[in-house]
Amino acid sequence: MAGYLLQRLVQAVIVVFAMSVIVFVGVYAIGNPIDVLIDPGATAEIRENLIRQYGLDQPLWRQYLVFLGNVAQGDMGTSMVYNIPVVDLVFSRLPATLELVLVSVCIATLIGIPAGLYAGYRPDSVGAKAIMALSVLGFSVPTFWIGMLLIMGFAVQLGWLPSGGRGDEGSILGLRTSLATADGWSHVIMPAINLSLFKMGLLIRLTRAGMVEAMSTDYVRFARAQGLPDRQIVFRHVLRNISIPIVTVFGLELGSTLAFAVVTESVFNWPGVGKLIIDSILQLDRPVMVSYLVLVVVLFVLINLTVDLVYARLDPRVRLRGEDA
């Protein structure tokens, strides 16, 4: 186990380093933020002073080395727009995104997996066909369009839910969160549903496919021959055997949801990290853009490592390299 973890950590460092180079070069090639930060009528002296202040007069390779040196000290730079450390800015927005992702993932999991099990257990029933049709809609319909429909229906026409924002915050175990108040839940429920639909459709189709395949295997026939009820067979045996692909997709989708909840946060004006990166792109706030993308890379590396470790827990046949060394 120790050898496997060491190998994966070395791979993670290489991946993060390579991606940081790509991100840094790509972001610094899209434009000059000074053109956005200062008035077009500013003097050349003001412009040059600002360029020197942010180190933009240095060669790109030198700017990258300075960036790496700062990151090694825990400094991701200072936002050009907000004039505060990027780490403080990102972490001030992160709780809102985590709330949204947590609720959306719970909705997708609590509905998607049971619905997929039912659709695979009774594949020819009307209910199973309806579930699969809804899963196709979850894949096909654009997220921003569903979000606008939800706003038009539940906020504008019915007036049941607010159209945007985060809502009032409360305290749970000493943590400030909008999930501690009824007003916070009224604000989070629509964007969470919108964000969960694609993941829900994916879990339904994946679980159904695994269920259909597993129900025709020998171990299910033997279990039925022993008189075990179908409920016990499904939840104690089948679900465990099809859990590895589900965990894989769940882990990857968790990472993508955290990293790319941009559309939903923009549609619902949710003050999370996704909304922050959109604003940073529009304002060419380079330190925020680079730091966010590097953090996304680190996030995916950590999630992939966690998924691999869960494999061994779910299926004893999975052996981690270096475990027997």
Tens digit of each residue's pLDDT (9 = 90 or more) over 8-27:
778 777 887 887 788 777 77
Q: d(Cα 312, Cα 14) in Å, to the nearest integer?
A: 24
Q: d(Cα 129, Cα 131) in Å, to the nearest integer?
A: 5
Q: d(Cα 250, Cα 101) in Å, to the nearest integer?
A: 12
Helices (H), the chain: 2-27, 34-37, 44-53, 60-72, 86-121, 126-140, 143-150, 182-214, 218-225, 230-232, 239-241, 243-259, 262-267, 273-282, 286-314
Residues above pLDDT 70, as percent of the chain? 86
**CA-based nearest residue to 280, from 90, 48, 53, 98:** 90
pLDDT value at position 300?
Answer: 78
Q: Which residue has the higher pLDDT, 237 or 3?
A: 237
Please state the φ and ψ torsions of residue 321, each to the nearest 5 degrees.
-60, 135
Q: d(Cα 231, Cα 143) in Å, to the nearest integer?
A: 35
Q: Which fold has domain 87-282?
A: MetI-like fold (1.10.3720)
pLDDT value at position 134?
Answer: 85
Q: Which band of pLDDT confidence, cut at 50, 70 and 90, is reported for residue 325?
A: very low
The DSSP output letter for 156 is: I
Q: ∠ CA 178-180-182 to the nearest 5 degrees?
A: 85
**CA-based nearest residue to 86, from 71, 108, 103:** 71
The residue extents of the domains of the chain are 2-72, 87-282
Q: d(Cα 162, Cα 93) in Å, to the nearest integer?
A: 20
Q: What is the dihedral of CA 164, 292, 29, 143, to 10 degrees?
A: -40
Task: Convert the pLDDT of each residue in 204-250 to its tens digit.
Answer: 888 888 888 877 777 777 777 877 777 777 777 777 777 777 777 77
pLDDT value at position 169?
Answer: 79
Q: ∠ CA 36-41-47 to the nearest 5 degrees?
A: 60
Task: Convert the pLDDT of each residue in 94-109 to its tens digit.
Answer: 888 888 888 988 898 8
